[in-house]
């Protein structure tokens, strides 16, 4: 499990040391650096997946395309170098990359530090480490289990991709593979802590049950298309109605579906990054997702969630109060507006056992209070 992220010279950050827990919430203003935190991790995981052997960090890949070197170097440091560091299970690795050409779509690895000591790269570099060390690295093995769901999820579609079963181990960064995953893994058992009582503990039945908790009367069906590498995903909002195309039952269902599938299908030790799970959801559904995220983290899956929703936050706070997840297993980081000429730095309120915060930074989910103070 990841415990800390160390960033230097990357995007809006000059330096950042961020503690991460089994459940970490990233909140704050637009452009404050929340997405950059997630992107630092995704860049490493993407490079491991696409360029197992090599010495360059892939900036323009199939899941995350940030552009050229000029787009990712810190606007504050003025350096041509950036460092991405990760600590997991007591092992710390810091990768330093240097740009020779600011137009390049990958950046060269120049140094690796493992637990504070330089690691000689030699001739063979695997997963951005000396090949002899790569297989035994806890940091690398953890990052290779990372998956990411972006805020720009696939909208309602009549057909979705169906790959070989091995191609549906994750829901895809846009959620486009969730229906295929459910098709292949419908009989997988869900962690007991996530199961709704009196419902079979299999993935299909539990996804269906959780969707019904959020949207009462909702039902879903996944069907392969004969002669095509595709499945159809159909919903209905009432047991008396026919199954319909996603376009006809509300945008929120298709936005929520891959998140529910990802949470219930994740295995202990997986790392799941989710951007804005609240998109197109009503407040009650947003709170439910916060609570479900806490239950998932308590089952051994690490979650880092970027959110603009106080309802998601309150769902997590309620889960702490209900003793679903211990307060020390939750980290909250608020990225406020940086002062002119200064790099972003978060404020990190702490939760107590009753779900209360020890501080409430200015701008941290306080817009309702500000509006009410003017209205009353």
Name the band, by pLDDT with cuts 50, 70 and 90, for residue 101.
confident
Per residue in 168-186, pLDDT tens?
999 999 999 999 999 999 9
Residue 131 burial by Cβ neighbours in a 10 Å radius (0-12, 13-18, 19+): middle
Model pLDDT, residue 311: 95
Least Cα distance to 61 among 80, 74, 42 occurs for 42
Query: Checking DSSP bridges between strand 129-130 and strand 302-306, what pairing results, if any?
Result: unpaired
Per residue in 241-275, pLDDT tens?
889 888 888 788 889 999 999 999 999 999 999 99
Domain extent listing, the chain: 1-145+269-376, 154-265
Name the band, by pLDDT with cuts 50, 70 and 90, for residue 159.
very high
Tell me the CATH number for domain 1-145+269-376.
3.40.50
The contacts of residue 17 (CB under 8 Å, 6+ apart) are: 4, 5, 6, 7
Q: What is the pTM of this model?
A: 0.94
Q: DSSP state, 225?
A: P
Q: Which tokens is 106 given?
A: 């990958």
Alpha-carbon torsion 69, 27, 272, 202, what sign? negative
Model pLDDT, residue 77: 66
Helix (H, G, I), strand (E, B) or coil at 116: coil
Asked if 252 and 281 count as a contact pair (C-beta separation under 8 A), the reply is yes
Per residue in 199-248, pLDDT tens?
999 999 999 999 999 999 899 999 999 888 999 999 998 877 889 888 88
Model pLDDT, residue 368: 77
Report the interhelical angle of 203-214 vs 251-265 (nearest 10°). 140
Higher pLDDT, 288 or 80: 288
Model pLDDT, residue 339: 66
Q: Which tokens is 47 given?
A: 């490079």
Within 10 angstroms of residue 321's Cβ, the number of other Cβ atoms is 15
Q: For tokens 């919903």, name the residue.
A: 235
Name the band, by pLDDT with cuts 50, 70 and 90, for residue 335.
very high
């Amino acid at each position: 499990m990841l415990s800390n992220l160390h960033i230097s010279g990357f995007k809006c950050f000059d330096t950042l040391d961020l503690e991460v827990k089994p459940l970490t919430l990233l909140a704050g203003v637009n452009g404050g650096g929340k997405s950059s935190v997630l992107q630092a991790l995704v860049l490493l995981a993407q490079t491991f997946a696409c360029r197992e052997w090599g010495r360059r960090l892939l900036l323009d890949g199939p899941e995350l395309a940030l552009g050229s070197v000029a787009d990712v170097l810190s606007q504050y440091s003025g350096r041509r170098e950036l460092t991405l560091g990760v600590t997991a299970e007591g092992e710390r690795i810091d990768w330093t990359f240097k740009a020779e050409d600011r137009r390049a779509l990958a950046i060269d690895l120049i140094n690796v530090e493992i637990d504070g000591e330089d690691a000689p790269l030699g001739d063979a570099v695997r997963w951005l480490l000396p090949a002899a060390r790569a297989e035994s690295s806890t940091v690398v093995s953890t990052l290779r289990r990372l998956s990411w769901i972006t805020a720009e999820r696939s909208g309602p579609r009549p057909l979705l991709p169906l790959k070989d079963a091995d191609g549906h181990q994750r829901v895809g960064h846009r959620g486009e593979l969730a229906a295929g995953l459910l098709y292949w893994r419908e009989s997988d058992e869900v962690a007991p802590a996530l199961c709704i009582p009196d419902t079979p503990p299999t993935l299909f039945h539990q996804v269906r049950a959780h969707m019904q908790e959020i949207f009462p009367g909702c039902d879903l069906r996944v069907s392969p298309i004969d002669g095509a590498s595709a499945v159809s995903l159909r919903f209905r909002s009432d047991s008396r109605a026919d199954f319909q195309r996603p376009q006809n039952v509300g945008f929120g269902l298709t936005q929520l579906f891959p998140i529910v599938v990802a949470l219930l299908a994740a295995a202990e030790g997986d790392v799941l990054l989710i951007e804005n799970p609240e998109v197109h959801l009503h407040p009650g559904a947003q709170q439910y997702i916060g609570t479900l995220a806490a239950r998932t983290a308590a089952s051994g899956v690490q979650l880092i969630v970027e959110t603009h929703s106080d309802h998601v936050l309150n769902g997590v706070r309620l889960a702490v109060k209900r003793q679903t997840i211990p307060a020390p297993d939750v980290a909250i980081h608020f990225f406020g507006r940086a002062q002119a000429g200064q790099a972003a730095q978060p404020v990190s309120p702490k939760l107590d056992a009753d779900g209360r915060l020890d501080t409430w930074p200015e701008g941290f989910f306080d817009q309702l209070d500000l509006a009410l103070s003017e209205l009353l």
